[in-house]
């Protein structure tokens, strides 16, 4: 059992290691190539970029940048893309054999969604159970970077989500309401409500984000 006076020391080391891990996705042997997976699924289903743009409401140029991994799509964008591609979002993050009943993710196996090479991104994330099929929830550890935080547009997608602050200070705007969350604070919202989630300082913040699709799972 960890002594009370040592808990902060262990927690700080955990946060440091986690933040460093999420900053260096390019050094992993098998990084997640979300853009390639989206393009593969789109082409397999016989959809053009124009078709996907019509189904999602996203601009064709934006979709091209996502597929070429020039930008890292926010989680809300990923949900809308997975819907348009008739799949669950978890399938966009994993090439592993899907499991039916449970998923275990060891620290040594965690992979960060790739940051665009040479470009600042306001967030990066680790999917926590990408190999579980027929699921209704998606869980992520998300690092909110201060870069480009002012450029983030409101996200709207199906379902509900829980946001729990692991480290730092987070600013969440839900419609016209502003909420500032610190370590241990949580916010639950209906994702159909326009919302923005960014770090509230000039330092990164870490959150646990759990999203519920609100619909029957697609296998």
What is the structure's pLDDT at 78?
82
pLDDT of 162 strictly over 90: yes
Average pLDDT rounded to a whole number, residues 54-76: 87
What is the structure's pLDDT at 195?
92
What is the structure's pLDDT at 42?
93
- Non-local (6+) Cβ contacts of 141 within 8 A are 18, 22, 125, 126, 128, 166, 206, 207, 208, 209
Confidence of residue 4 (pLDDT cuts 50, 70, 90): low
Cα dihedral across residues 209, 120, 112, 32: positive or negative = positive
pLDDT of 43 strictly over 60: yes
The span from the CA of 29 to the CA of 117, in Å, is 16
The span from the CA of 218 to the CA of 74, in Å, is 21
Comparing 64-73, 173-182, 208-217, the range with the smallest average pLDDT is: 208-217
What is the structure's pLDDT at 180?
97
What is the structure's pLDDT at 32?
67
Beta carbons of 21 and 112 less than 8 angstroms apart? yes
pLDDT of 74 strictly over 50: yes
Q: Set out the domains of the chain in order of their start, with CATH numbers.
A: 4-212 (2.60.120.10)
Residue bearing the bigger pLDDT, 100 or 5 = 100
Instruction: Give the range with max mean pLDDT: 111-120, 129-138, 145-154, 164-173.
Output: 164-173
pLDDT of 212 strictly over 80: yes
C-alpha dihedral, 152 to 156 to 157 to 161, nearest 10°? 80
Q: What is the pTM of this model?
A: 0.75
pLDDT of 6 strictly over 70: no
pLDDT of 19 strictly over 80: no
Residue whose tokens read 């699921």 = 135
The span from the CA of 122 to the CA of 186, in Å, is 20
């Amino acid at each position: 059992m960890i002594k009370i006076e040592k808990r902060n020391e262990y927690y700080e080391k955990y946060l440091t290691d986690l933040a460093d891990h999420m900053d260096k996705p390019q050094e992993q042997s098998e990084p997640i190539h979300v853009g390639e997976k989206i393009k593969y699924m789109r082409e397999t289903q016989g959809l053009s970029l124009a078709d996907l743009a019509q189904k999602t409401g996203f601009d064709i140029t934006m979709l091209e940048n996502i597929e070429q991994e020039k930008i890292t799509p926010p989680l809300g964008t990923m949900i809308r893309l997975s819907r348009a591609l008739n799949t669950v979002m978890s399938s966009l993050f994993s090439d592993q054999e899907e499991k039916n009943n449970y998923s275990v993710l060891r620290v040594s196996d965690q992979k960060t969604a790739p940051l665009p090479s040479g470009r600042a991104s306001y967030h990066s994330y680790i999917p926590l159970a990408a190999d579980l099929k027929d699921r209704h929830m998606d869980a992520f550890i998300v690092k909110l970077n201060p870069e480009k935080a002012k450029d983030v547009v409101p996200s709207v997608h199906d379902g509900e989500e829980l946001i729990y602050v692991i480290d730092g200070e987070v600013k969440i705007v839900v419609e016209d309401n502003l909420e500032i969350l610190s370590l241990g604070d949580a916010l639950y919202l209906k994702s159909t409500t326009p919302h923005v989630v960014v770090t509230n300082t000039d330092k990164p913040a870490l959150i646990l984000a759990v999203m519920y699709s609100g619909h029957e799972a697609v296998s």
